[in-house]
């Protein structure tokens, strides 16, 4: 949990020993735990703890579109609602969805859409509700990752999963998976998501400065991290079926 206000950000984000303030090496991910089928009333659901982030995703669909005028006669639509709880951050967040939440909902929707077969579901909607109950940097990446898991848990046909992680730069060094403080006080932040059926990047945002060489190296670091995140997603999905098989 970040308990610092803007003026109190540390001057240095790397320690004397070259490690990060939370003890991680430059390319280490924070501890990640994922679980599917956590909300019984949803068609599919998942939960992720990614460092201090705690996020639920629930999926409903295909179902009737409300309001009706949003329905498309030739395809289904995907609607994503990313929300951060008022108590999820140090300074109380206003409860009404702000510009940031709308933007994050849109980018998550755009990076998940390529893996769905929306053309097979005319006139219907798929809705994903993402609830961030504790936030500490990288929530859009963790949300994308957990939303893809919830879609898979719902049994919705997908071309592949989608995995996401940020890379960036602090104190002139490239790092993987920025924490809240690294996100706010660092030099740059680049959230990336990957669709695995075509190995394409479906999300790439960028804030800060990097040269071409740093950008290329960051993308390589992101790909390594995404491969790890992907394996964890697969494990979380498999765990559900192993438990069913074993009658747990
Ligand atoms: N944050 C906050 N208050 C807000 C929005 C964000 O304290 O109203 C924190 C939160 O920890 C978040 C981090 O700032 O994870 C970085 O936010 P950003 O907009 O970069 O999105 P994220 O990195 O979470 O995808």
Distance 64 CA to ligand 1 centre (A): 33
Site to substitute for ligand 1 among 180, 185, 187, 207, most atoms within 8 A of C-beta: 180
For residue 167, report the phi and psi dihedrals to the nearest 5 degrees. Answer: -125, 170
Q: Per residue in 57-66, pLDDT tens?
A: 999 999 999 9
Could you tell me the two tokens for 96?
């009404």
Query: Per-residue confidence at 8, pLDDT binned at 50, 70, 90?
Result: confident
**Does the reported pTM lie above 0.75?**
yes
Contact of 146 with 46, CB cutoff 8 Å: yes
Residue nearest to atom 23 of ligand 1 (CA): 138
Query: Per-residue confidence at 118, pLDDT binned at 50, 70, 90?
Result: very high
Distance 139 CA to ligand 1 centre (A): 7
Which residues touch 140 (CB under 8 Å, ≥6 apart)? 82, 104, 107, 108, 164, 191, 203, 205
What residues flank ligand 1, with Cβ below 6 Å? 89-90, 93, 100, 135-140, 180, 183
9-36 core/surface letters (b: 16 or more CB in 10 A; e: else): eeeebbeeeeebeeebeeeebbebebbb
Domains of the chain: which residue ranges?
24-246
Q: Per residue in 120-170, pLDDT tens?
A: 999 999 999 999 999 999 999 999 999 999 999 999 999 999 999 999 999
Q: Is 122 exposed, middle or buried (0-12, 13-18, 19+ CB in 10 A)?
A: middle
Which ligand 1 atom lies nearest to the CA of residue 104?
Answer: 25
Distance 69 CA to ligand 1 centre (A): 33
Reported as type and span, the H/E element at residue 56 is strand 53-64
Site to substitute for ligand 1 among 135, 182, 190, 192, most atoms within 8 A of C-beta: 135
Closest CA to 130 of 199, 240, 42: 42
Distance 180 CA to ligand 1 centre (A): 7
Helices (H) and strands (E) in the chain, counts: 4, 10
Distance 136 CA to ligand 1 centre (A): 7
Report whether CATH 3.30.230.70 matches the domain 24-246: yes
Distance 31 CA to ligand 1 centre (A): 19
| CA gap 237, 100 in Å, rounded | 30
| CA gap 151, 116 in Å, rounded | 9
Query: Residue 11 gets which letter from DSSP?
Result: S
């Amino acid at each position: 949990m970040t308990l610092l206000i803007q003026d109190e950000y540390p001057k240095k984000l790397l320690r004397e020993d070259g490690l990060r303030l939370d003890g991680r090496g430059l390319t280490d991910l924070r501890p990640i735990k994922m679980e599917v089928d956590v909300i019984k009333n949803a068609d599919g659901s998942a939960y992720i703890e990614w460092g201090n982030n705690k996020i639920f995703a629930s999926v409903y669909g295909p179902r009737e579109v409300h309001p009706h005028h949003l329905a498309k006669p030739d395809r289904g639509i995907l609607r994503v609602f990313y929300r951060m709880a008022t108590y999820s951050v140090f300074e109380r967040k206003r409860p009404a969805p702000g510009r940031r939440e709308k933007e994050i909902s849109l980018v998550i929707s755009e990076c998940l859409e390529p893996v769905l077969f929306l053309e097979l579901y005319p006139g219907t909607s798929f809705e994903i509700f993402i609830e961030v109950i504790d936030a500490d940097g990288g929530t859009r990446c963790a949300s994308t990752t957990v939303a893809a898991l919830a879609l898979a848990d719902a049994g919705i046909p997908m071309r592949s999963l989608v995995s996401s992680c940020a890379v960036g730069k602090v104190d002139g060094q490239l790092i993987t998976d920025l924490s809240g403080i690294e996100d706010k006080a660092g030099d740059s932040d680049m959230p990336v998501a990957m669709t695995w059926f075509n190995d394409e990047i479906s999300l790439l945002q960028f804030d800060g400065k990097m040269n071409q060489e740093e950008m290329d190296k960051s993308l390589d670091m992101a790909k390594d991290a995404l491969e790890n995140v992907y394996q964890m997603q697969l494990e979380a999905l498999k765990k559900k079926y192993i438990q069913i098989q074993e009658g747990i």
